Chains A and B, each alone.
Chain A
Amino acid sequence: MRYSDVTPKEIYLNRRRFLTAALALPIPAAAATLNAGKTAFNAGGEKITSQKIVTTYNNFYEFGTGKDEPAQNAPKWKPISPWTVRIEGEVAQPKTLDVDQILKLAPLQERIYRHRCVEGWSIVVPWIGFPLSALLKQVQPTGKAKFVAFESVYDPNIMLSPRKAGIQFPYVEGLRLDEAMHPLALLTVGMYGETLLNQNGAPIRLVIPWKYGFKSIKSVVRIRLLEKQPPTTWSTSWPAAYGFYSNVNPDHEHPRFSQRDEERLGEGTLLKPKVIPTRMFNGYGDQVAKLYAGMNLDRNY
Chain B
Amino acid sequence: MNRFLSSPWTKVVVFVLSLVPLGVLLWLCWQAYQSADPTEFVTANPIEYITHYTGDWTIRFICFTLCITPLRMLLNRPQITRFRRMLGLFAFFYGCVHFAVWLFLDPRQNTIPAIWEDIVKRRYITIGMLALLAMLPLAITSTAGWVRRLGFKRWKRLHKLVYLTAIAAVIHYWWLVKSDIRLPLMYAAIVAVLLGYRIIVWMRDRKRKLSDPRAPQPTASTS
**Chain B residues closer than 8 Å to A237, beta-carbon distance:** 179
- Taking CB atoms and an 8 Å cut-off, the chain A residues in 195-254 that contact chain B are 237-238, 253
Tell me how far the C-beta of B36 lies from the nearest C-beta in chain A, rounded to whole angstroms: 9
A57 B44 Cβ-Cβ under 8 A: yes
Q: Give the B interface residue count (CB, 8 A).
A: 30
A164 B107 Cβ-Cβ under 8 A: no
Q: Is A15 an interface residue (CB 8 A)?
A: no
Given contacts A255-B122, A266-B39, A268-B38, contact A120 B108 (CB under 8 A): yes
Q: Is B181 an interface residue (CB 8 A)?
A: yes
Q: Is A301 an interface residue (CB 8 A)?
A: no
Q: Is A166 an interface residue (CB 8 A)?
A: yes
B180 A166 Cβ-Cβ under 8 A: yes
Q: Which residue among B32, B38, B105, B178 has the maximum number of chain A CB atoms within 10 Å of its CB?
A: B178
Could you mark each residue 267-296 of chain A with 1 if its beta carbon is under 8 Å from any beta carbon of chain B, else 0?
Answer: 111111111000000000000000000000
B45 A61 Cβ-Cβ under 8 A: no
Tell me how far the C-beta of A174 lies from the nearest C-beta in chain B, rounded to whole angstroms: 19
A4-12, A25-33, A138-146, A256-264: which lies at the B interface? A256-264
Could you mark each residue 21-37 of chain B with 1 if its beta carbon is under 8 Å from any beta carbon of chain A, else 0?
Answer: 00000000100110000
Tell me how far the C-beta of A18 lies from the nearest C-beta in chain B, rounded to whole angstroms: 31
A270 B181 Cβ-Cβ under 8 A: no
Given contacts A50-B39, A53-B39, A256-B124, contact A164 B108 (CB under 8 A): no
Q: Which residue among B33, B38, B110, B123 has the maximum number of chain A CB atoms within 10 Å of its CB?
A: B38
Closest to B30 in A: A270
Q: Is A68 an interface residue (CB 8 A)?
A: yes
Measured in the bound complex, the distance between the Cα atoms of B44 and A267 in whole Å is: 10
Tell me how far the C-beta of B178 lies from the nearest C-beta in chain A, rounded to whole angstroms: 7
**Chain A residues closer than 8 Å to B29, beta-carbon distance:** 270-271
**Chain A residues closer than 8 Å to B110, beta-carbon distance:** 261, 275
A269 B38 Cβ-Cβ under 8 A: yes
Could you mark each residue 43-86 of chain A with 1 if its beta carbon is under 8 Å from any beta carbon of chain B, else 0?
Answer: 00000001011001100010001011000000000000000000
Given contacts A260-B114, A273-B38, contact A65 B47 (CB under 8 A): no
Measured in the bound complex, the distance between the Cα atoms of B38 and A267 in whole Å is: 7
**Chain A residues closer than 8 Å to B41, beta-carbon distance:** 270
* 6 contacts across the A-B interface (CB closer than 8 A): A50-B39, A57-B43, A258-B118, A266-B44, A268-B107, A273-B107
B: residues with CB less than 8 A from A are: 29, 32-33, 38-39, 41-48, 105, 107-108, 110, 114, 118, 121-124, 176-182
Complex A-B, nearest 9 residue pairs according to Cβ-Cβ distance, in ascending order: A166-B179, A65-B180, A57-B44, A275-B107, A53-B44, A265-B44, A166-B180, A167-B179, A270-B38
